[in-house]
Amino acid sequence: MKRAKEKYHNLNNVTKAYLQLHLCVFLWGFTAILGKLISVAALSLVWWRVAFTTLSLLFVKRLFSKIREIPRRKVGIYIFIGILVCTHWVLFYASIKASNASVGVLCMALSPIFTAFIEPLYFRRRILWFEILLSLVVIPGMYLVTQNISASMITGLVYGIFSALFASWFSTLNKKYIEHSDPVAITFLELGSAWIFLSVIMLVSAAAGMDFSFIPKENDWLYLILLSVACTAIPYVLSLMSLKYISVFATNLTINLEPVYGIFLAWILLQEDKEVDSGFYLGVLIILASVFSYPFLKRLAKF
């Protein structure tokens, strides 16, 4: 009876984690749209994003007492992860600025391919055949969705691919080191360190004579607040909570839905549907199939 209750409790936790994750992915679908609407450069955009997000977390009760409970070694790890997050976001928005919102979010569908190799390395487990299979299935889906992009968008595509690599890296590390630590405290440490790291980079860049837009325009302020709170602070904490019960590969595979949400939002808000042909629909079906078949293949592999 006790084992049955524990199994039911674990099942509820996993179900809740998936619901939290899907809410995160839906909210993240707006990040590319907001990134395209905000006029400042990618470096400046991420600086404002992490600054506002970090400030919003200061209103959380007992934040610093929760941080003091974290061992010093883990604090250093979370700071390093924050730098990886920062790099991922800069590359992500650079991809959007160099191409469009659709291309930027679609590159994130490549993250499971990287995770299929990175996660076993950190967790010292064998590479699973069905993770490789699903990763390979994503490739034709990506091709069908992006086959009509122009040559001028190739730079954005390259930025997006590296963005997906860093996303897989920091997600794997979060999964490895999140246990027994408060998700809000972790978010504050990671994004706070990202803000400090990016501040140093921007000061060095400015001293070297690099010219980039920094001060947001009137409409940018509202978009930045939405991006920082609704699309960063809330989903970031929820995603860390879900990682306690879901693997990194399953997380990144579910995040493949972000391109679907992002592109449909780009159609509605940015009129980017003119840049997409009928092959997009087949590509979306392939990506969706890879996302929703993962739990079934995982169960099959255990038999």
Enter the pTM of the model: 0.81
Q: Is the pLDDT of residue 287 over 90?
A: no
- Contacts for 32 with CB less than 8 Å, ≥ 6 apart: 92, 96, 101, 102, 104, 105, 262, 265, 266
d(CA 264, CA 276): 11
d(CA 110, CA 135): 8
Q: Is the pLDDT of residue 276 over 60?
A: no
pLDDT one-digit tens code per residue, 197-240: 999 999 998 888 777 778 888 889 999 999 988 888 888 888 88
d(CA 186, CA 63): 10
pLDDT at 275: 55
d(CA 28, CA 262): 8
The mean pLDDT of 276-295, rounded to a whole number, is: 73
pLDDT one-digit tens code per residue, 5-14: 444 345 578 8
| Residue carrying the six token digits 């524990």 | 6
C-alpha closest to that of 190 among 83, 69, 115: 83
Whether the CB-CB separation of 201 and 87 falls below 8 Å is answered with: no
Instruction: Tell me the pLDDT band of 68, cut-offs 50, 70 and 90.
Output: very high
Residue 295 in tokens: 């739990």
The mean pLDDT of 143-148, rounded to a whole number, is: 71
Instruction: Tell me the pLDDT band of 273, cut-offs 50, 70 and 90.
Output: low
